């Protein structure tokens, strides 16, 4: 049995991870969870936000499923998500955004997979303040290697899943340095994939095109800041953050997580929607070559989503987390 690290997280984290565990058990997925935690709970219990045992567990297992974590507000607390990305060099942030029958959205044929560079660019953490001159610099540093590996990841994905186009999003017309490096790396890498069309779009035009005609896009790759913004925009095209999965992937380690946060306003009420985390868990199953199980669970989820009434309140239904989970389990067969 393959071991996978499970991070419950904070707020609604324990409720939605429990739902995933039940569905996986019912589907007889051949993995064994290794339970670790991070965030407020471990801070209160053990005085640390990211325990060493968690890092060891992820290093050993190389794959983790993570519930949302509340980042404490205040000095000295760095984002746990950012720390995990840096520790394990998780340079790809992958977000599939696809319309689902039964989930309200303005479009009915969106199928975009966004690859966001996850480490460099404006989020590289290189910042300067000059108190005397009252000015500040936030440096958008990127490397050729960093550009090449995220673009290559997007092309490899397109090839694997039979997508015929990769769209690279940039602002190289103004940001000649970092933007130019990214665009050129994309053109070069693209030459190795003669069957896939390389397309590039300037970020502002891309935003307009996405909200007018999103079906023209498939695999999209971009730098960190643009990717952060575009990924939420794309989530909005298919029903919002409650239904969108995410993965942070490196060469050795991958961490799968829902895109939404710990939802403290509804935590403990048993009404949270597990869809986004379940979809992240399905991505994880594809990643570890358990595609058969991934397909079956995904189909059960999509069938459940078709009947709004069986879904949680945020999707317009009457069910609580437990009832919604039970329906998905029934639909496995």
Measured from the CB atom, the residue of 34 and 228 that comes closer to Mg ion is 228
Instruction: List beta partners, residue 127.
Output: 138
Q: What are the structure tokens assigned to 230, written together?
A: 């575009």
Measured from the CB atom, the residue of 148 and 228 that comes closer to Mg ion is 228
Question: Interface with ligand NAI by CB under 6 A: which residues?
Answer: 12, 16, 68-71, 81, 241-242, 257, 260-266, 272-273, 276, 314
Number of residues this chain uses to bind Mg ion (CB under 5 A): 1
Measured from the CB atom, the residue of 120 and 257 that comes closer to ligand NAI is 257
Q: How far is the CB of 295 from ligand NAI (least distance, A)?
A: 23
261 binds, among ligand NAI, Mg ion, none (CB under 5 to 8 A by kind): ligand NAI
Q: Does 236 bind Mg ion (CB under 5 A)?
A: no
Residues 6+ apart with CB under 8 A from 45: none
Measured from the CB atom, the residue of 89 and 228 that comes closer to Mg ion is 228
Q: Does 228 bind Mg ion (CB under 5 A)?
A: yes
Q: How far is the CB of 276 from ligand NAI (least distance, A)?
A: 6
Q: How far is the CB of 241 from ligand NAI (least distance, A)?
A: 6
Q: Are 113 and 96 in contact (CB under 8 A)?
A: yes
Residues 6+ apart with CB under 8 A from 234: 95, 97, 110, 112, 114, 210, 214, 220, 244
Q: How far is the CB of 232 from Mg ion (least distance, A)?
A: 6
Q: What 3-state DSSP class applies to 287? A: helix
Provide the b/e sequence for 187-220 (b: ≥16 CB within 10 Å).
eebbeebeebebbbbebeebbeebeeebeebbbb
Q: Is 11 left (phi over 0), alpha (psi -120 to 50) or beta?
A: left
Q: How far is the CB of 13 from ligand NAI (least distance, A)?
A: 8
Q: Are 63 and 254 in contact (CB under 8 A)?
A: yes
Q: Does 241 bind Mg ion (CB under 5 A)?
A: no
Q: Does 199 bind Mg ion (CB under 5 A)?
A: no
Q: How far is the CB of 228 from Mg ion (least distance, A)?
A: 4
Q: Does 233 bind Mg ion (CB under 5 A)?
A: no
Euclidean distance between CA atoms 1 and 273, whole angstroms: 28
**Residue of this chain nearest to Mg ion (CB atom):** 228
Chain positions contacting Mg ion, by CB under 5 A: 228
């Amino acid at each position: 049995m393959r071991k996978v690290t499970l991070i419950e997280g904070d707020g609604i984290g324990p409720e939605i991870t429990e739902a995933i565990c039940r569905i996986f058990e019912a589907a007889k997925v051949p993995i064994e969870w290794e339970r670790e935690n991070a965030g407020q709970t471990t801070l209160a219990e053990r005085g640390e936000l990211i325990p060493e045992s968690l890092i060891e567990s992820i290093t050993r297992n190389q794959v983790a499923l993570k519930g949302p974590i509340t980042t404490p507000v205040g000095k000295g607390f760095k984002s746990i998500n950012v720390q995990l990305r840096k520790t394990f060099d998780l340079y790809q942030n992958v977000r599939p955004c696809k319309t689902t029958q039964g989930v309200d959205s303005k479009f009915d044929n969106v199928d975009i997979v966004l690859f966001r560079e996850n480490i460099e660019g404006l989020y590289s953490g290189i910042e300067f303040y000059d108190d005397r001159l009252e000015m500040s610099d936030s440096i958008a540093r990127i490397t050729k290697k960093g550009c090449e590996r995220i673009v290559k990841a997007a092309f490899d994905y397109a090839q694997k899943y039979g997508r015929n186009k990769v769209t690279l999003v940039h602002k190289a017309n103004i940001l000649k340095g970092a933007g130019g490096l990214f665009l050129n790396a994309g053109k070069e890498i693209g030459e190795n994939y003669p069957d896939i069309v390389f397309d590039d779009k300037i970020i502002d035009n891309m935003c307009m095109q996405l909200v007018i005609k999103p079906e023209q896009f498939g695999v999209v790759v971009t730098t960190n800041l643009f990717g952060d913004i575009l990924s939420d925009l794309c989530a909005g095209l298919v029903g919002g953050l409650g239904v969108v999965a995410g993965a942070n992937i490196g060469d050795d380690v991958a961490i799968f997580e829902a895109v939404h946060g710990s939802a403290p306003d509804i935590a403990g009420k048993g009404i949270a929607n597990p869809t986004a985390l379940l979809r992240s868990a399905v991505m994880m199953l594809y990643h570890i070559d358990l595609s058969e199980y991934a397909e079956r669970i995904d189909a059960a989820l999509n069938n459940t989503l078709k009947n709004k009434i069986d879904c949680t309140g945020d999707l317009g239904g009457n069910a609580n987390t437990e009832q919604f989970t039970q329906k998905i389990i029934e639909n496995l067969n």
